[in-house]
Chain A
């Protein structure tokens, strides 16, 4: 049965910002996109860097040869080392989404409170 943990108030985190938390023994990163809050394990599946020390940004989307099309602004978490890109909505990497991904946690908003659901530890 998952337990809900209080992380912060809505106004504590602006759209486009992120913040690291430790919940029990687990390090997570909370990201605020234009529409919602998203919580992910704060650990890059590549070399284990803290994603919260990277950038919450957009990226160049798959495009025709020679074209650069920017999009998904604020929905891509870029690792501070090596630059792997993680989709904050799914936790999947953009380059190898089936195999390289990080765990995502359900975020619940209750009034002004932002809570994360995690299994009790």
Chain B
């Protein structure tokens, strides 16, 4: 067993994990939270297709093999096991829960049912997870294809003390994220002092085809292609002036990598110099909006052959405040904070990636003293 060992040295490092997927044994767990008029869709034919399904098959399944049990349950379905295996084991100070099924709510053409599912999910999340341990932080599930209903839902549960953000898929339903159709969502996020997490999502339902070249023919190709949905989504937000229109809006992009960010910012600024008059609502070089408003989860961590290239990437991004650590627990490509954030990086930068940047982004207090279970990494 090649698990990373934690020696428990002094001066443990607080850690924020920005991408944790709380599990659910079955979507039928939502039934008690769902008004009866929607129970009709929980029938024999529909259940296996709820919500919109991932069209790609994964060679080993999406879950870490060491978390799966003979009865086909997995540890992520149980708050006490996640507390033990993630929070306590790795000394996680705050774990942002971003759900299972949640992003596919936005993929469903039956939008009002999707909104009802999102509401049920949030109540289930509060009952089962957020009430269990204050280190679990919630993300408000919404059906973004129904922006007004999404805003209502954000207002309904956004004030819960453990809710920290709105939960969206990176691919948008039908129209790109910069479209004014989604303004109610950004307004509600800002109104409730919530951040917005935008998470990689498969090309299911309304979320459309994965690229202009159509469909990848392997999961591996798809996983690498995911970068494109982040690039186009971020471009839409920036160029359409969403950050100019909502100066308090802050978003984190999860599972999209970050090595592409410097190049995209350079191209944005170069294009703006030439084509500013087409987007005159952008008052500053577009890269400045990215640095101010956008953060990037580290998982899956970029692994250049030479770790010093990571430093060069951060340098090229023009800020060491943009990266926030994430494990992606319990998924197969889980990043362990020890090996994932190389010790060759300067200590100050490692601390920012593991904790400070998320602390500042979410407004978390600095822990008075780190939990005794925390470990040095």
List residues of chain A with CB within 8 A of the CB of B275.
83
In this complex, what residue of B is CB-closest to A100?
A: B273
Partner pick for A84 among B180, B274, B285, CB 8 A cutoff? B274
**Contact flag A66-B241 (CB < 8 Å), given A46-B273, A84-B273:** yes
Identify which of B240, B242, B281, B285 contacts A62 (C-beta below 8 A): B281
CB-based A-B contact count at 8 angstroms = 44
Kindly provide the distance from the CB of B282 to the nearest chain A CB, expressed in whole angstroms. Answer: 9
- A36-B280 Cα distance, complex, nearest whole Å: 27
Q: State whether the Cβ of B343 lies closer than 8 Å to any Cβ in chain A.
A: no
- Cβ-defined contact, A59 with B277, below 8 A: yes
The reply to whether A82 and B273 contact each other, CB–CB distance below 8 Å, is yes
Which residues of the partner chain A approach B281 to less than 8 Å between Cβ atoms?
62-67
Interface positions of A from 71 to 85, Cβ below 8 Å from B: 82-85
Judge whether A82 and B274 touch: CB under 8 Å.
Answer: yes
A27 within 8 A of B: no
Which A residues lie within 8 Å of B180 (CB)? 66
Also in contact, A94 and B276, with CB within 8 A (given A62-B281, A62-B283, A66-B281)? yes
- Which chain B residue lies CB-closest to A96? B273
Q: Which residues of A contact B280 (CB under 8 A)?
A: 59-63, 68-69
A62, A69, A95 interface centre (most CB from chain B within 10 Å): A95
CA distance A119 to B350 in the complex (A): 55
| Contact-residue bracket for chain A | 20 to 34
Q: Is the CB of A95 within 8 A of B245?
A: no
Please provide the chain B residues from 225 to 246 with a CB less than 8 Å away from any CB of chain A in the complex.
240-242, 244-245
Does A93 touch B at the CB level, under 8 Å? yes
Provide the bound-state CA to CA distance between A82 and B272, in Å.
10
Task: Decide if B45 is an interface residue (CB 8 Å cutoff).
Answer: no
Q: Bound state CA distance, A27 and B276, in angstroms?
A: 27
Q: Mark A83-95, 1 if CB is under 8 A from B, else 0.
A: 1110000000111
Known A62-B280, A65-B240; judge A83-B274 contact (CB<8 A). Answer: yes
Contact A65 B272 (CB under 8 A): no
Contact status A95-B273, CB under 8 Å: yes
The bracket for how many chain B residues form the interface is 10 to 19
- Tell whether B278 is near chain A: CB-to-CB under 8 Å: yes
Contacts of B283 in A (CB 8 A): 62
Instruction: Please determine whether A65 and B241 come into contact, CB atoms closer than 8 angstroms.
Output: yes
User: Across the interface, do B272 and A95 meet the contact criterion of CB distance under 8 Å?
Assistant: yes
Q: A84–B276 Cα gap in the complex (Å)? A: 9
Against A, the Cβ 8 Å flags (1 = close, 0 = not) of B250-279 are 000000000000000000000011111110
Q: How far is the CA of A68 from the CA of B274 in the complex (A)?
A: 17
Point out the residue from A60, A61, A65 that lies within 8 Å of B278, measured CB to CB.
A60
B362 to chain A, nearest CB (A): 26
What A residues does B242 contact at CB under 8 A? 65
Once bound together, how far apart are the Cα atoms of A79 and B278, in whole Å?
16
- A95 / chain B contacts, CB cutoff of 8 Å: 272-273, 276, 285
B48 to chain A, nearest CB (A): 43
B240 nearest in chain A by CB position:
A65
Residue in B closest to A68 when the chains form the complex, CB atoms: B280
Query: Complex formed: what's the CA distance from A54 to B278 in Å?
Result: 18
- Which chain B residues lie closer than 8 Å to A93 at the CB level? 273
List chain B residues, Cβ under 8 A from A96: 273, 285
Separation of A80 and B137 alpha carbons in the complex (Å): 53
Contact residues, A30-46 vs B (CB, 8 A):
46
User: In the complex, how many angstroms separate the beta carbon of B264 from the nearest chain A beta carbon?
Assistant: 18
Report the Cα distance A45→B285, complex, angstroms: 17
**B278 to chain A: closest residue by CB:** A60
A26 to B78, CA, bound (A): 76
Known A-B contacts: A46-B273, A62-B283, A85-B277. Give 18 more (CB < 8 A): A59-B277, A60-B280, A62-B281, A64-B281, A66-B180, A66-B281, A67-B281, A69-B280, A82-B274, A83-B274, A83-B275, A84-B273, A84-B274, A94-B276, A95-B273, A95-B276, A96-B273, A100-B273
Chain A interface residues (CB < 8 Å from chain B): 46, 59-69, 82-85, 93-96, 100
Sample of 9 A–B contacts (CB below 8 Å): A59-B280, A60-B277, A65-B240, A65-B245, A66-B240, A85-B277, A94-B276, A95-B273, A95-B285
Give 6 closest A-B pairs by Cβ, nearest first.
Answer: A65-B241, A83-B274, A60-B277, A60-B280, A65-B281, A65-B245
